[in-house]
Structure 1
Amino acid sequence: MSAPKGFCAAGAVALAVVPLAMALANRSSPLIVAIAALLFTAGAFAEHGRDALPLLLRPLVSALGLAVLGFLAWCLVSLAWSPFPALSLRMLGEFGPTLIAVYLLARLAPDRLPPWTPMLAAIALALACLFVIASLRLGMAPQRLLGQRDALFVLNRPVLTFVLVAGPLASYFAVARHRRIVAAALLLLAAAAILSSVSGAAAMGLIAGLAMAALAWVLPKRFGLAIVGTGLALALALAPVEGDILARSMPEAIHTRLEHSSSRARVAIAQSFGAAVAADPWRGAGYGTGPRFPEVPAAQALEPEMREMLAVGHPHNSFLQVWAELGVVGAILAAAVLFLTLRGVAVLPKAPFAAAMGLIAAAAAIAFVEHGAWQAWWTAGLGTAITWLRASLARPPRSDTA
């Protein structure tokens, strides 16, 4: 085996086992993705030498690439007024390297995957789902055996990763008539693991993703794009007033039904962060300031009970987090990234288009209720999913092979 192929084969193994690694160790995906990215990068340079550099940089000069760079530049600029620059740099140190790794992986891996990689990934995802189901049925005994915490929530990150990865990986098999049973089995097994867990966000993402993928399959593209585009626009535009809207509109019966999800506290948290946005709407408090948000200048004018709710460290809504930390400029740049992404998705063939729309809907639903936007494991999961989506375009499997 040549050096380029050897590097890529090793990287393919790392890519394939991301969900299984997360099931066994729920913070492992950033490391696994970084290893995969380094191996594929080594393979690309071993194959092309210095000519690999333009290959890596070309997407960055597209409209979407420039929008992403603009958003990241604003994150860096916001460090100038962050009251906690060390905290901001620490958050950037978690998010930045993983973002670079997933960019390299999504750019280089799809054209270089050995033909056995998708089936290995399917087996790894199936084993990961079975591990989660078995852990829940056995009262978390496997976690105790591994010396880990045996609380049910330790499986939340793995199942959220399953939500992201299962659809794009299944779409790889769905284009081959004799492999569609593999796609269906993956989706069913992933759904079983997700719905068995205690993660309401994962269940919400699963439902949103499956529903949107089905709609994108049966409706003309313009309708699917309109649904997702409208949802994203509303989620971002209304984020600063989300708490007030929910406080006025959510019936008490729904709060009672969602008591295990702390819905009342989540509404109060959203109201508190929304009030902080109103106090400094233009530039935000600075990138990565969420963990110490009660101490930022915008929070000082709030009532004590409002500041108390800011102590959770994040607003349980990534759209609102962008507003709170990066202000209206950050929100506009984020909107540009989202809608240019939709423009790119619009030209995909039908099956990858449905999978991409499902992924966007699932990720947006989770981002609307989940933890911080800059977490490395979340970035790694998204990058893995995008890599598989691009792989289904780069080399769709024939009907007689994997």
Structure 2
Amino acid sequence: MVAAGRLYAAGGGLLAVMPLAMVLANRSSPAVVGLAALAFLAGRCLEDAAACREHLLRPLVSALGGTALAFLAWCLVSLSWTPFPASALRVLGEFLPTLAAAYLLAALAPGRIPAFAPRLAAGVIGLAGLLIAGDLASDLALERALGRRVAAFVHNRPALTLDLVAGPVALVLWRRRARGPATAVIALAALGVLRSISGAAQLGLLAGAAMFALARVLPPRIGIGLAGLGLGLAVALAPVEGDLLARIMPEAAHERLVQSSSRARVAIARSFGASVAADPWRGAGVGTSARFAETPVAGTVPPEMRVLLGVGHPHNSFLQVWAELGLPGAVLASLALMLLLARIARLPQPDRAAALGLVAGTAAIAFVEHNGWAAWWTAGLGAAISWMRAASKPGAITGSGMDDSA
């Protein structure tokens, strides 16, 4: 069907260029992913509306899909006690539409991505890495030319996006026996990430690469077990992260990490951890991190711990879940992560190693850096998962973009 093929070409092109869009406008990924998702949705509906519904509904009735829906339902339930419903609705108003677009893309794009898209994505990722490195080396000449704010951190989000998509795109190319472009994608993405000032992006790159290497050489059960242990500890220890680091982190380590504001991060983690200890059962409500210092639970925290509750978020998505959604949110998030690993365990190599690398890199970033509900982050994850799923479908990327086996 010609019309559907054109829509798939548009969607595949948008999916491919998203990393470059982030370099040029570092909040653009939700719009790009949203348009790509709409293109694939329209194409699938034109091709076969009944099959499209099946692709969208089938994952939601699985154990993983049901757990994810339960987590989202708990987020909505928490609106009943949040002290800032307008702020929470603004957060969800950005997060939920982007999450829906990411889901549409991951469910519908694999099997319909046109043949040109992986090589276009490879070129875009390479260009994005070079632009980040070159712009920072030239004292942000690109930002000056574009008339934008001149600050090195503007490339942090693009670098984090490269962390997410480079491995899955390389896997697609590797599956198509394009070994040179696959290697170049990883190398140039790493250049941009390592040249950036984002410690989170660099940590994500190292964690993802290490997990990929281990998963390639270890027996499957051990690789999955290590990932499960890491994710379980990330959730379980999040409320006491600050106290643990305050006790075991030497002063020399803080000196080496002065650019990452490690002392402030430890103090922030201790403050949010104290709030979790004060109300561990239900949390303050979804989307409250931006105004956490004004929540009722903040008033129960020791005075010396309250100041840093006003920083906007705890710089740890696992801790953010605890602080906002309490024990039920943490349990549902943990269950979803374990069910995800069970899915990954069934993948063949090298897909399993690449997927575990993506999980490890994502978890490492989430543990140290950002707001878990950020739309740009959700969009990047949706793009990465779409490429991962495309790689796992034999023959899913074709000249016409049409594959009846999908």
Written as runs of structure 1 = structure 2, the 5 A alignment for 1:17-32 is 17-32=17-32
Task: Return the alpha-carbon distance in structure 1 between the equivalents of residues 51 and 357 of structure 2.
Answer: 35
Task: Return the alpha-carbon distance in structure 1 between the equivalents of residues 129 and 162 of structure 2.
Answer: 8
Task: Return the alpha-carbon distance in structure 2 between the equivalents of residues 54 and 387 of structure 1.
Answer: 17
Q: Which amino acid aligns with 1:112?
A: R
4+ residue segments displaced more than 6 Å: none
Task: Return the alpha-carbon distance in structure 2 between the equivalents of residues 275 and 135 of structure 1.
Answer: 41
Residue 273 (structure 1) aligns with: 272
Pairwise CA distance, 1:305: 2.5
Pairwise CA distance, 1:51: 4.3
Deviations 1:139-159 (A, max 9, x none): 101111112111000000000
Contact 1:168–1:388, Cα closer than 8 Å, also in 2: yes
Deviations 1:148-197 (A, max 9, x none): 111000000000000010011111112344x1111111111111111011
Contact 2:111–2:396, Cα closer than 8 Å, also in 1: no
Residue 184 (structure 2) aligns with: 185
Contact 1:176–1:397, Cα closer than 8 Å, also in 2: no
Residue 404 (structure 2) aligns with: none
Residue 218 (structure 2) aligns with: 219
Q: Secondary structure at the match of 1:17?
A: helix
Residue 334 (structure 2) aligns with: 335
Pairwise CA distance, 1:397: 8.1
Pairwise CA distance, 1:68: 0.3
Contact 1:172–1:396, Cα closer than 8 Å, also in 2: no
Pairwise CA distance, 1:126: 1.1
Q: Which amino acid aligns with 2:197?
A: V
Q: Which amino acid aligns with 1:351?
A: P
The TM-score normalised by the length of structure 1 is: 0.97
Q: Secondary structure at the match of 1:101?
A: helix
Task: Return the alpha-carbon distance in structure 2 between the equivalents of residues 278 and 42 of structure 1.
Answer: 48
Q: Which amino acid aligns with 2:310?
A: A
Residue 113 (structure 1) aligned with residue 113 (structure 2): yes
Contact 1:175–1:397, Cα closer than 8 Å, also in 2: no
Task: Return the alpha-carbon distance in structure 2 between the equivalents of residues 210 and 383 of structure 1.
Answer: 20
Task: Return the alpha-carbon distance in structure 2 between the equivalents of residues 142 and 396 of structure 1.
Answer: 40
Residue 246 (structure 1) aligned with residue 252 (structure 2): no
Contact 1:217–1:351, Cα closer than 8 Å, also in 2: yes
Task: Return the alpha-carbon distance in structure 2 between the equivalents of residues 221 and 12 of structure 1.
Answer: 32
Pairwise CA distance, 1:328: 0.3
The TM-score normalised by the length of structure 2 is: 0.96
Residue 361 (structure 1) aligned with residue 360 (structure 2): yes
Residue 157 (structure 1) aligned with residue 157 (structure 2): yes
Pairwise CA distance, 1:396: 5.3
Residue 35 (structure 1) aligns with: 35
Contact 2:164–2:362, Cα closer than 8 Å, also in 1: yes
Residue 172 (structure 1) aligns with: 172
Query: Structure 1 regions of 5+ residues with no counterpart?
Result: none
Written as runs of structure 1 = structure 2, the 5 A alignment for 1:83-162 is 83-162=83-162
Pairwise CA distance, 1:128: 1.0
Contact 1:110–1:395, Cα closer than 8 Å, also in 2: no
Contact 1:173–1:397, Cα closer than 8 Å, also in 2: no
Task: Return the alpha-carbon distance in structure 1 between the equivalents of residues 275 and 71 of structure 2.
Answer: 21
Written as runs of structure 1 = structure 2, the 5 A alignment for 1:301-380 is 301-380=300-379
Residue 292 (structure 1) aligned with residue 287 (structure 2): no
Q: Which amino acid aligns with 1:108?
A: L
Q: Secondary structure at the match of 2:281?
A: coil
* Percent pairwise identity: 60
Pairwise CA distance, 1:137: 1.5
Query: Structure 2 regions of 5+ residues with no counterpart?
Result: 402-406
Q: Secondary structure at the match of 1:206?
A: helix
Q: Which amino acid aligns with 1:147?
A: G
Q: Secondary structure at the match of 2:35?
A: helix
Q: Which amino acid aligns with 1:206?
A: L
Q: Secondary structure at the match of 2:392?
A: helix
Contact 1:16–1:121, Cα closer than 8 Å, also in 2: yes
Q: Which amino acid aligns with 2:102?
A: V
Task: Return the alpha-carbon distance in structure 2 between the equivalents of residues 265 and 396 of structure 1.
Answer: 49
Residue 202 (structure 1) aligns with: 201
Deviations 1:11-40 (A, max 9, x none): 111000010100111000000000000010
Pairwise CA distance, 1:256: 1.0
Contact 2:243–2:270, Cα closer than 8 Å, also in 1: yes
Q: Secondary structure at the match of 2:339?
A: helix
